[in-house]
Chains A and B, each alone.
With several copies, the nearest count.
Chain A
């Protein structure tokens, strides 16, 4: 394992120190437990908090700032943070208006965040959780822990953050969140495996011309292992998996998010995005907004994911609203 780190045991805190130094105007970092909160003191509306294992940067820590998250709780690499860390983020950001916790659907995250929400509620705060489970790779969700939360999380955090920023109350923020969760689907593919610092070896083995289709963001296995194919065929496979799952019909408006899993060059990510745009156009689906780049990653894993969100006027307005975070920024 070759990594630019000092010690696997301190990698998350060491990295947060760099984030804090780089973006002192946007975020404040507290350590032990590790949390990232907004540097400004926003008017006390609803606060939006998310978190999960580290190693998916910029998710979630890079999305703290005006118009998006009030707090992020980075756990150890690929491991959910514990309830006390989540509670610390709640205490640091949450007032009368309450908080919404955005939780990716992994057993660990759900158990830890729900425990924290319970404890906060016991202290009289109105804290609710929304669980995002957008990964269509998990086919039969009754025989499993359910679909995983993946790329849709980025869109959810942006949109919910905008709703909170404009002053929506917790009911309204929660209802926007549930609308996004219902309307978003994703699929991922890996070309290589990530290496967790404290493990020191790649999380899985993949042949020289194999890809893992339906990969999660922790190197969990996907739907199937396939021989590598041209980008055109791969994008078709990905777009079909999502469109058929909805199913999406002609004339619908969508946001298309083509994401790098971390190690894939932007050259390839844009290439795949261009193909997906044409495949959707061929189906009569209107791409009205897009996001392209590494926003929810799996360390150095090469691969991409695609996420499609069915848009309406309300979501479009919230998507377009200004945002100012380390990793996502427009309008201010």
Chain B
């Protein structure tokens, strides 16, 4: 029933595939309101992560998440690198040495990830960042934590999708898009979109 280290690794590989598939889309989202690199940044990081996992999958889910964290911090760059990196680092700490992750640990890990992003980036819901996808995801995950890992992640992914979509109406207040002021309205935030994509990949992998 729970997630092993290999399951987490598989979810990360699925995430890497998604990033590759949506690379152009993410970069295109980053074009009008940013610097047109979000897809490339994530692709560089997730490709490196897959290479590392190809060599050896660490023993525990926590160790896998830590490898993801350090790889993303050192490979992604930009704003997204330290933010996603910190999210995985906090998630790794949250799950500790457990050999398998149950639904409520997964929900707690997501929550820890969110806290990490907020600690570093200081964004709030409504600022049109990845937080707009991640915060509702964390809340939905917590609500579904009695229904199993797959349900937690699928609820998180659904909520993240909706949260990401909401950034379209928002005036960006953090990151590069904030330089646009009112002109940022009407654009989906690339980081919110990538958060939703990653969570969807995790959810699919957990089915």
**Chain A–chain B contact at Cβ < 8 A:** yes
Instruction: Flag the segment in A56-64, A74-82, A123-131, A165-173 that touches B.
Output: A74-82
**A79 contacts B174, CB within 8 Å?**
no
- Across the interface, B78 reaches (CB within 8 A) one of A79, A139, A203, namely A79
- Residue interface mask B168-183, A partner, CB < 8 A = 1: 0001011110111101
Contact count band on B: 20 to 34
B171 proximity list for chain A (CB < 8 A): 143
Q: Which of A79, A137, A144 contacts B173 (CB 8 A)?
A: A144
Q: What 0/1 pattern do residues 129 to 160 of A give for CB contact below 8 A with B? A: 00000000111100111001000000000000
- Interface Cβ pair total, 8 Å cutoff: 106
Which residues from B are CB-within-8-Å of A222?
A: 179
B32 is an interface residue with CB less than 8 A from chain A: yes
B81 touches A82 (CB 8 A): yes
Which stretch of A107-115, A241-249, A262-270 is in the interface?
A: A107-115
Does B148 count as interface, using CB distance less than 8 angstroms?
Answer: no
Q: For B37, give its contact among A79, A107, A148, A216 (CB under 8 Å).
A: A79
Which residues of chain A from 193 to 232 have a CB within 8 Å of any chain B CB?
196, 198-199, 203-204, 216, 218-222
One of B56-64, B68-76, B90-98, B104-112 contacting the partner: B68-76
Q: A108-B77, A145-B178 are in contact. Are A115 and B40 (CB under 8 A)?
A: no
Digitize A94-110: 1 where CB-to-B-CB distance is under 8 Å, 0 elsewhere.
Answer: 00000000000011100
Partner of B75, one of A82, A115, A138: A82
Residues of B within 8 A of A148 (CB): 179
Smallest beta-carbon distance A60→chain B, Å:
15
- Tell whether, in the assembled complex, residue B78 and residue A220 are in contact, meaning their CB atoms are under 8 Å apart: no
Q: Which residues of A contact B (CB under 8 A)?
A: 75-84, 106-108, 111-112, 115, 137-140, 143-145, 148, 196, 198-199, 203-204, 216, 218-222
